[in-house]
Amino acid sequence: MADMTHPAGQGTPVPPSPGTVRVWDPLLRLIHWGIAAAFLTAWLSAEEVMAVHEAAGLTIIALVGLRSLWGLIGSSHARFSDFAPSGAGLLAYLRALVQRRADRHLGHNPAGGAMALTLWFALLGTAALGLLTRYPLPGLRPYGHFLEEAHEVLANGTLVLVGLHIAGVLVSSLLHRENLPLSMLTGRKRAG
């Protein structure tokens, strides 16, 4: 996880390419790849290595919490107010996307913003249900199996969202001829 910050850490040998701007701050990138690694770990360890699975779930809870705090006080493109779309704005963007004339956004585009928010809620919900499955509240004990089912359904739903997220990143990268995954590593995007 720690080496994810390397490309943009202080004193690292990545020269800012001319014509690029800093978009994603280091903490945001660390959280992004941290959540990705934790979700992958949680997925692979499910029903296999429960100590690892539990640690991955706790990591997700901590990182989503940190990300939402950063969404209030972080750098400009990290703030939820920068990308939480209105319903109309999201629909207009999606309509333009289908016609392959969607605007390029330096931060999250409206669909990307909606996806990020949905993913965080799904991740937190999945992890919270997992926690309640493993450490049931006394009143919820009779519903243990229902909680476990709900945890699994939500985990599967989150995996679908991750697939859509990756598909969206690919579509957006192709449409605007830029490498968005690389930007999430370096923090930089082409200016203008």
Instruction: Check binding of 117 to other proteins (CB under 8 A).
Output: yes
Q: Which helix (H) or strand (E) holds 188?
A: strand 188-190
Contact region with other proteins (CB under 8 A), list: 60-68, 97-105, 161-169, 178-186: 60-68
Instruction: Check binding of 61 to other proteins (CB under 8 A).
Output: yes
DSSP string computed for 18-84: TTEEE-S-HHHHHHHHHHHHHHHHHHHHTTT-HHHHHHHHHHHHHHHHHHHHHHHHS-GGGSHHHH-
Greatest pairwise CA separation for the chain in angstroms: 61
Instruction: Check binding of 93 to other proteins (CB under 8 A).
Output: no
Q: Which two tokens stand for residue 155?
A: 């985990």
Which has the closest alpha carbon to 124: 87, 161, 79?
161
Measured from the CB of residue 3, what is the shortest distance to other proteins in angstroms?
23
Instruction: Check binding of 109 to other proteins (CB under 8 A).
Output: no
Query: Which residue in 28, 102, 122, 127 binds other proteins (CB under 8 A)?
Result: 127
Query: Which residue in 1, 14, 44, 69 binds other proteins (CB under 8 A)?
Result: 69
Q: Are 27 and 74 in contact (CB under 8 A)?
A: yes
Query: Which residue in 41, 133, 158, 183 binds other proteins (CB under 8 A)?
Result: 133
Instruction: State whether residue 179 is helix, strand or coil.
Output: coil
Interface ranges with other proteins (CB under 8 A): 47, 50-51, 54-55, 58, 61-62, 64-65, 67-69, 71-72, 79-81, 84, 117, 120-121, 124, 127-128, 131, 133-136, 140-142, 144-145, 147-148
